[in-house]
């Protein structure tokens, strides 16, 4: 049996909990997973595994990342139901590329051929954006971890956020870290927010695709609670993107762009709200 919980991206399931001695019935909050069908110009384009929240932002950000739109004006109409979004675009950027089949985007954020084609065409965007000092890095990570409301209830999501040097502007959670970044991309697109001086925060691993997404958004700084991959490091260096990762307690690793991270201040890190708890990376 299951009970949907509004638009929170959470369901309540009757499960079995083992307490070290015995099993017992336990109503538990579990993060929702559903397939969102995206239809462009009447043609099925993608099916994205997601939690079913912030669908307008997720769709707009995904289409921008795929190169189908580059501004809100590129969307002529968007019709949203519980598990389907129909999009009608306008202008040359809205032409649907030939696809052999519908892309199924798993919660891990796997992507199709178009993403790799766009990666090869990426150009350097740095060195721009804010310089970081150690205190700011710790402060923003504290704020990000404090924003993980669904994760605190289900332990099943990633969280990403866009921030200025003054703090977080918007935070989004989902079952996949790629979805959270697409949501933020859509939020910035629809709200008209310039990201050139903003910082992308995430709880998830920084892969080359995450760096690519940041580049396509125009973001020059990534700060993560988790680690980065070798390909992400090389790509970030080539694009001029700063990557700071594994921010835990009073330590972190600068994977790319070390010259833009200031060390002339003694960090006074706040105790992170998830001290001693692990954030699962996909």
Structure tokens at 88: 């009608």
- In the chain, CATH 3.40.140.10 covers 132-262
What are the residues facing 80 on neighbouring strands?
Answer: 85
Burial of 105 (0-12, 13-18, 19+ CB in 10 A): buried
Nearest to 281 by CA among 112, 122, 41, 107: 107
- Alpha carbons 93 and 95: distance in angstroms, whole number: 6
pLDDT one-digit tens code per residue, 234-269: 999 999 999 999 999 899 999 999 999 987 544 454
* Banded pLDDT at 8 (limits 50, 70, 90): confident
Q: Report DSSP state, residue 57.
A: H
Is pLDDT above 80 for 31? yes
Question: With pLDDT > 90 as the criterion, what percentage of the chain qualifies?
Answer: 74
- Alpha carbons 72 and 65: distance in angstroms, whole number: 13
Q: What is the pLDDT of residue 179?
A: 97
Q: In degrees, to the nearest 5, what angle opens at C-alpha 74 toward C-alphas 68 and 78?
A: 90
What is this structure's pTM? 0.85
pLDDT one-digit tens code per residue, 170-210: 999 999 999 999 999 999 999 999 999 999 999 999 999 99
- In the chain, CATH 3.10.20.10 covers 34-113
Who wins on pLDDT, 57 or 280? Answer: 57
Grouping H, G, I as helix, E, B as strand and the rest as coil, residue 81 is: coil
Task: Please name the residue that has the structure tokens 């306008």.
Answer: 90
pLDDT one-digit tens code per residue, 58-79: 999 999 999 999 999 999 999 9
- Alpha carbons 208 and 224: distance in angstroms, whole number: 13
Answer whether 280's CB lies under 8 Å from 254's CB: no
Average pLDDT in the 119-126 region? 60
Burial of 241 (0-12, 13-18, 19+ CB in 10 A): buried
Distance between the two ends of the chain, CA-based, in angstroms?
28
Judged by phi (left if over 0) then psi (alpha if -120 to 50, else beta), residue 277 lies in beta
Average pLDDT in the 222-231 region? 98
Tell the CATH topology of 34-113.
Answer: Ubiquitin-like (UB roll) (3.10.20)
Q: What is the CATH number of domain 132-262?
A: 3.40.140.10
């Amino acid at each position: 049996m299951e009970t949907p919980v509004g638009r929170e991206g959470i369901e309540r399931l009757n499960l079995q909990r083992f307490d070290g001695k015995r099993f017992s019935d336990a109503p538990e909050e579990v993060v929702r997973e559903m397939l969102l069908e995206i239809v462009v110009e009447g043609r099925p384009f993608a099916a994205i595994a997601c939690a079913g929240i912030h669908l307008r932002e997720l769709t707009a950000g995904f289409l921008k990342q795929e190169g189908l739109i580059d501004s809100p004006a590129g969307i002529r109409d968007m019709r949203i139901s519980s598990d389907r979004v129909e999009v009608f675009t306008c202008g040359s950027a809205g032409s649907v590329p030939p696809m052999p089949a519908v892309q199924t985007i798993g919660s891990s954020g796997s992507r199709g051929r178009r993403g790799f084609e766009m990666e090869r065409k990426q150009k350097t965007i740095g060195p721009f954006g804010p310089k970081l000092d150690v205190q700011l890095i710790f402060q923003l990570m504290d704020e990000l971890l404090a924003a993980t409301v669904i994760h605190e209830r289900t332990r099943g999501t990633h969280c990403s956020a866009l921030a200025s040097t003054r703090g977080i502007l918007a935070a989004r959670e989902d079952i996949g870290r790629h979805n959270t970044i697409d949501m933020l991309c859509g939020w910035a697109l629809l709200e008209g927010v310039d990201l050139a001086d903003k910082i992308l925060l995430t709880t998830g691993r920084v892969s080359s695709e995450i760096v690519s997404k940041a580049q396509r958004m125009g973001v020059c700084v990534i700060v993560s609670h988790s680690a980065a991959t070798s390909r992400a490091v090389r790509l970030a260096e080539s694009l001029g993107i700063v990557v700071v990762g594994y921010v835990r307690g009073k330590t972190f690793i600068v994977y790319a762009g070390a010259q833009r991270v200031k060390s002339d201040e003694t960090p006074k890190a706040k105790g992170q709200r998830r001290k001693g708890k692990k954030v699962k990376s996909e």
